[in-house]
Structure 1
Amino acid sequence: MDRHADLGEFLRSRRARLRPADVGLVDYGGRRRVPGLRREELARLAGVSVGYYTRLEQGQSPNASDAVLDAIARVLRLDDTERSHLYALARPAVAASRRGTRPERLRSEVGVLVESLGAVPALVLGRRADVLAWNRMAHALLAGHLDFTAPRRPAGRPNWARMFFLEPHVRDLFTDWERKARDTVADLRLIAGRHPHDTRLAALVGELTTRSADFAALWAAHPVRGCAHHTRTYRHPVVGRLTLTDELLQLPDDEGQRLVVFSAEPGSASEAALRLLGGLAAGSAESDPPASRPTQPAR
């Protein structure tokens, strides 16, 4: 990914969403060539020269000070997540490392934890949105059409972003697909800003941009937002509609990896549907031939 191009795209997208009146400028009417704030208007409000801001937006000022970035963030009304993203894009990135090419590993202790959460769906996402592990419940909820053992094979791991945008089965699962799509891209944008030299992540973005018009449009809009928790309604092909809350928990010893756990409101119809799904998932596990049953935590 081109960090300099991403910086310019991000700043232009944030300028475009503001009107002069939003920042206290008088709009004398007439036709504006660009939507939102002009470069010179933003530069004046931030207290920098137009030339300097233009170079920053073009990725030619890699050593912008905290004061300048804070001033720009203030004028653009960036929230905390967007401000952190601005810093990640504007500052020189560390040299590329082997982490940009090698598959992620899952600690065996985390694999055991996921399996132990058998009563609720649980999975682990890597920083590239690869599914590193899931229990039977998460597999039955999200991807029962896939091989349960797929996350154990680094070359064939399911990728959540790829599944979400390219597989009709997953798309049909969400009643609020558009909102979920924006959240997925916003989260991936944030991750990409933190890992500009990750070649596997860049390849994923390139693939999705080429193969999904929905992804390409959302990526161009440059949404930025981290995922922490959501409540969504699912349209499951077997147990019907159910409303679940998902919590995304950062794994502190595994950079970028997150544990995702789903739960239903106690006593609700969704909880009953989740129990039914659990029974079906358990039955599926019992019907597996011995050679395909898990014998050790995923790695």
Structure 2
Amino acid sequence: MNKTALKGLLSERRALIAPESHGLSRPTGQGRRAPGLSQHQVDQLLHRTFGTYHRLESGNYPNPPDDLLRDVAHLFALNEQEWVSLYRYAAEKNPPGPLALSSGKEVPGVWQEAVDGIGHMAYVTDASWDLLASNRQWDDLFDGRRPPANTLRWMLFDGRAQLIDWETAWAPLVLPQMRAALAQRQTDETLLKIEEDVLADPVLAPLYREGGASIHPDGDERPIRHAVHGPGWVTMCAAQPLTAPGARLIILIYHPGTRRAHARTAMLRARTSPRLSDSWCDATG
């Protein structure tokens, strides 16, 4: 437990909430003068026993339950990034799911400008794989420059003719991603409908039931047919907007022609600085 960071986050956000906004009075006279809710008022609003919140904010509540952390996060109006921080500080692990089911459904508008500035195919989808933003290069991949509204459904159903070696290079790798997403978003109507269609599909259903361990495409290479440039293959880069859990930025680096057999691109690592002793020897001759 990171007591210092936990106290800093909670006390700062608690100070921003006026007691009057919840029908409570602010202490007067010789009493407390600090801004915002008192720790006891937090207990009142969360219907917890006296001293519960004090234990949490002071870092003296080992393994606090998920429902307490969620109630505090909702009361303090934490965003998704702050929710992850709260969970890591208090429970030393990532939260089991987003704070709100509506999270991951939108990203700041500047993401459209960001993908427009990427030279390779690039797009942003929300947590349900619905398209939020795309650049010209991504749109050019499709006949009539009409990108799919939902990229998960496209990869599993509508794009089979365009995705070369679909049954071996695409479907078995995409289905585990859907399963992992549903594990965290069990009531997502878009994902549930796609799962329903998968289970009704004679090709996809057996693959889905078999399971699989692939849950993200970062670094994958897969064959594809470009509407303009013809058959080729793409190398995938995947990232996530921090304020939208489940949303994703995908960059596809397209290579025309037949994919060449070669080793995976080496991992990037931080460049190590020259050892001090080496620098000193060089300086002194």
When normalised by structure 1's length, the TM-score is: 0.47
- TM-score, normalised with respect to structure 2: 0.50
Q: Which has the larger radius of gyration?
A: 2
| Structure (1 or 2) with the greater helix fraction | 1
- Higher RCO (C-alpha under 8 Å, 6+ residues apart): 1
